[in-house]
Structure 1
Amino acid sequence: MSVEFPVHRLQVPEPQVLPFALGSFDTIGELSRADFPHRHTFYEIVHVTGGSGTHVVDLAHWPLEPPQLYVVAPGQLHHWEAADGLTGQVLLFNEDFLLSHPEDVTALRTLSTHPWRGLGPAAAEVASLFGELEREYHDLAEGYAGMLRSYLHILVVRALRAVSAAAPDGSTAAPGRAAELAAAFGRLIAEPGRSVADCARELGVSPGHLHELVKQATGRTPGRLIRQRQTMKAKLLLARTSLTVRQVARESGFEDPAYFCRFFRRETGMSPGEFRGRAAEPGGWAAERGGGEIHHDPRITSIARLPDGP
């Protein structure tokens, strides 16, 4: 039995309605600050103006230091840890919305691998652009769809310039090659049993070069990212399935259940059995976390969870 992370999509009630939504963390709904790992079929741009916590994107941890801008691309794994008092705007849209500016697809993919801690001089301009987007979105004046696309395009270009100017720590931004390689590495290790050497060979680089560029782009080593993904997969299986520990070990990429138990304890501080017991408690990982209606706007009815894959 194979269990995938939850995948969510935008539900648009009518074909002519824009695949686009904009609101606060409260009006978009609970999934805008979900504390469990999940993926989208759509893009999400998050403008955080206040609050505390950590945003985790493809296993890279980014502590909040508002104001900030995050881009989550379709297929990326993300969630929030210890998020409290989040304020700002959440922008959701499908790739169809980018048809008038197809170059934005590549730009958004680049931005999704370059979260940064502060907007710096760009903070006021980003806030202004979100203000214009909100005005057009709610006023529905003639030509509003084109205006939304134009303001979104400007936002993407401005954000890309900011990323090109400075990396998260204020140093020179990670080159595009590092971001591309890290993204490709992230896709490869979604398959259980992948080693750093295997991935390096498939990507056509040496393990040392892969280590250097992945750490540059994500702040974490390839080995650490693999261990985190294995741990997250094991947690999900232990919390939400009745698989035995031996079966969980195999699904997580371990042939030896005893080694898996030692690995899991080292990574989490508890045995698989202890984790499963805690997850079953009220509020634990086994609690249902679905839904997430967009209450403020009938044009897009909800963010819905897709059926689990095979």
Structure 2
Amino acid sequence: MTTLTSVRPAVPLHRLDVPAPSILPFAVGSFDTIGPMSRADFPHRHTFHEIVYVTGGTGTHVVDLVPRPLRPPHLFFVAPGQVHFWHRARELTGWVVLFNDDFLLAHPEDRDTVRELSACTRLRPTAEAAPGLTGVVAELRREYAEQGEGFIPVLQAYLHVLILRAARLAASVTDVVVDVEPDLGPTAAIAQRFARLLDRPTDPVERTVGAYAAHLGVSVGHLNHAVKTATGRTPGRIIRQAQVVEAKRLLAGSDLTVRQVADRVGFGDPAYFCRFFRRETGSTPGEYRRDIHAKHHDGRALSIDVPRERP
């Protein structure tokens, strides 16, 4: 049995606690059985993946400051590192599935699928699709509760089916394009490993192209080629975008000073960070924080969009 706990860094960080090394980090249950943090009304993030299948209730699920009003049945994917919370949620019913990357080893291609699904805002099952999703979640719950012989591979298989069905649903609403079974060559594999490093909530790697290349065991030139080929963008540009997104998360969801935010996202000089942030977003960190807080209090839509591309 895994449990959900919280620690208190700048933005509260939730982890899955695993009591024995033989049990992979995984949990499934209702909002009540998973616990109050499954419907937390304060900004927080995870070190793990979360799938939420809401079958009833009202309110808004806010992911990276983008409000997603509940219209059950509603499916949500939350990736490691994303900041989210529930706003004015009432009478939530449904199911929560928690797992980390280790639990996807049987189907490693799912790691990128669930990351892409976390960007999909309109995963609302049709009347035809809802019973199938409910059935898959029911089987996950049964296997997890009974924990019979060989239950881990069975859980992994049902989770794979749930992810595949969600990917089909995402494709049907054209909100994001998801490769269900990507055929990765070595170049694309390097690019995806680089992307996963950037997704870590507490990234131990220095935020430079050289540091990421060393961590991945490739040359800077090879990393540049792999990422540019796979994404059309340079690793440096992607790192800068990740720094802006993380800075926005911290400015909006914590009481850290601008100097502390600068340090958290890899800038030793807060003045340089302020110039960088203004160049990328059009506003200073202080202006961004004031604007976000004003929007939050008057109920207007919030957004933490990735910085726009420049030639």
- Structure-2-length-normalised TM-score: 0.60
String of CA shifts for 1:132-185, please: whole Å, max 9, x gaps: 11111112222222211111111111111111111xxxxx333459xx9xxx7x
How far has the Cα of 1:5 moved from its partner? 2.0
Q: Which amino acid aligns with 1:17?
A: I
What is the RMSD computed on CA atoms of the aligned residues?
3.9
User: Quick one: structure 1 residues 252 and 89, their matched pair in 2 at CA, closer, same or farther if it must change by over 3 Å?
Assistant: farther
- Give the aligned partner of residue 105 of structure 1: 111
In the TM superposition, residue 62 of structure 1 has moved relative to its aligned partner by: 0.9
Residue 284 of structure 1 is matched in structure 2 by none
Give yes or no for contact 1:234–1:252 (8 Å, CA) kept in 2: no
2:116, 2:178 within 8 Å by CA — same for their partners in 1? yes
Shift of 1:234: 3.7
Are 1:39 and 2:41 an aligned pair? no
Choose between structure 1 and 2 for higher RCO, CA contacts under 8 A separated by at least 6 residues. 1
Cα distance in 2, alignment partners of residues 149 and 251 from structure 1: 48
User: How do residues 138-157 of structure 1 correspond to structure 2 at under 5 angstroms?
Assistant: 138-157=145-164
1:14 is paired with a residue whose SS is coil
CA-to-aligned-CA distance 1:256-282 (integer Å, 9 cap, x gap)? xxx776665544349xxxx9xxxxxxx
Change in Cα spacing, 1:251 to 1:86, as seen in structure 2 (3 Å) is: farther
* Aligned match of 2:175: 173
AA aligned to 1:164 is A
Counterpart CA distance in 2 for 1:14 and 1:108 is 26
Of 127, 131, 150, the match for 2:134: 127
For 1:233, which of 235, 246, 250 is the aligned residue?
Answer: 250
Unaligned 5+ runs, structure 2: 1-8, 180-190, 202-227, 263-269, 276-283, 298-311
Taking a change above 3 Å as real, the CA distance of residues 263 and 96 of structure 1, as seen in their structure-2 partners, is closer
CA deviation vs aligned residue, 1:72-122 (integer Å, no higher than 9, x gap): 122222211111111111111121111111121122112111132521121
- Give CA-to-partner distance per residue, 1:242-295, whole Å, 9 cap, x none: x5x99889699647xxx776665544349xxxx9xxxxxxxxxxxxxxxxxxxx
CA contact under 8 A between 2:252 and 2:289: conserved in structure 1? no
Among 66, 70, 83, which residue is 2:76 paired with? 70
Query: Residue 162 of structure 1 aligns with which residue?
Result: 169
Letter in 1 for 2:72: P
Q: Quick check: 1:11 aligned with 2:17? A: yes
Q: Any gaps of 5 or more consecutive residues in structure 1?
A: 167-171, 191-201, 211-221, 276-310
- 8 Å CA contact 1:47, 1:90 repeated in 2: yes
CA deviations on 1:187-219 (whole Å, 9 max, x unpaired) are 69x9xxxxxxxxxxx9867xxxx9xxxxxxxxx
> How many residue pairs are counted as aligned between the two chains?
226
Task: Report the secondary structure of 1:85's partner residue.
Answer: strand
Closer/same/farther in 2, CA of residues 266 and 60 from structure 1, 3 Å limit: closer
Aligned to 1:113, the other structure's residue is in SS state coil
What SS does structure 2 have at the residue aligned with 1:52?
strand
Question: Could you tell me which amino acid in structure 2 is paired with residue 268 of structure 1?
Answer: H
| SS of aligned partner of 1:35 | coil
Equivalent AA in structure 1 for residue 17 of structure 2: Q
Deviations 1:29-70 (A, max 9, x none): 111111222221111111100111111222222110000111
Verify: 1:21 aligned to 2:27, yes or no.
yes
1:251/1:99 CA distance change after superposition, 3 Å: farther
1:7-35 deviation digits (Å, cap 9, x = unpaired): 22111011012311111111111111112
Q: Which amino acid aligns with 2:94?
A: G
Q: Is the 8 A contact 1:22 1:134 kept in 2?
A: yes
Counterpart Cα distance in 2 of 1:89 and 1:161 = 20
Q: Whole-Å Cα distance in 2 between the matches of residues 247 and 173 of structure 1?
A: 35
Contact 1:230 1:252 in 2 (8 A): no
Mark the CA change 1:118 to 1:254 in structure 2 (over 3 Å): closer, same or farther: same
Q: Structure 2 CA distance, aligned partners of 1:98 and 1:42?
A: 12
